Structure formats: structure tokens, C-alpha cells
Amino acid sequence: MSWTQLLATRKVHKHQTSKQKFRAIVARDLQDAAIPALSEDRRFVTAYNASLQTAKMAIACAGYRVGAVPGHHALTFEAASLALGSQAKTLLDYFEGCRRKRNVIDYTGVRIATATEAAEVLLHAKQFKKMVEAWIKTKHPQLS
């Protein structure tokens, strides 16, 4: 899909961002996902949310926001791919898999994520944040 197609279907909207809103949420979630006393499920979902918010940050810097539509998490990662380009494809594909596991955790199951999975998604969320911050610094320095 393209930005034009997403705008035409009202799945995304034009948006002007604040540079701090998403950063604070991402920082909180990365910190909370590292708390060993939380369950593996909660650490997994919290680290996943950090990656989702990081994707939203990239989309906002590109001048858009994803609408409240069914499948908005999947759409967020798709739109982030439009903003970031091919450099983010591997991580965004990984987070798409995490999105499905997050749905099971939040809606139908307990003890779904392992300690290894929770640590892995946290590591990838940190890498993604670093990648997006570098992209912002290069493509949107006024938002750095």
C-alpha cells in the first residue's frame, strides 16, 4: 500500500507530531519490560508495546497517524514500513509475529511467552528504537 491509498481509505490521517509524546511511552515500556518480577507474558506484551509505539513515532514523524480501524496494530507496522523503508523490514516482520502472540496473551491465554521470548522482544524493541531515532535524526532532524 501507499500513503495515498491509506489516506483514501481513511486508514491513516495527516498528522503533525510532538517530538516527546511517543519517546516517553517507549522509554517507560522498555524500562517496565525489563522488570524481572513481572510475568514473561507481561514483559513480552510491554516490550511489544514499546515497538508498536516506536512504529507510531516513525509514522508521526512522516506526517501521519493510523486511524482507529480494525487491525490497527498490523496496519501500524505496515505504515511504519512505508515511512522507514527496507532497512526496517526484518524487524517489522518480527514484530508482526509478536503481534499475533500478543493477541493470544491479552485475549485468550496465560503463560504463553517464555523468558527467552520476553528477553528477545525487549532486545529487538531496543534495536528498533535505536534505528528509528537514527532515521529521525537523518530524515527529520527538527524532531530529534
pLDDT in tens, 70-117: 889 999 999 999 999 999 999 999 999 999 999 999 999 899 999 999
Domain range enclosing 50 = 3-143
Write down the pLDDT at residue 50.
98
pTM: 0.92
Domain with residue 18: its CATH number is 1.20.120.330
Number of separate domains in the chain: 1
Q: How far is CA 27 from CA 18, 51, 125, in A?
A: 16, 11, 11
- CB contact at 8 A, 120 and 49: no
- CB contact at 8 A, 11 and 63: no
Instruction: Please check the confidence at residue 8 and state whether its pLDDT lies above 90.
Output: no
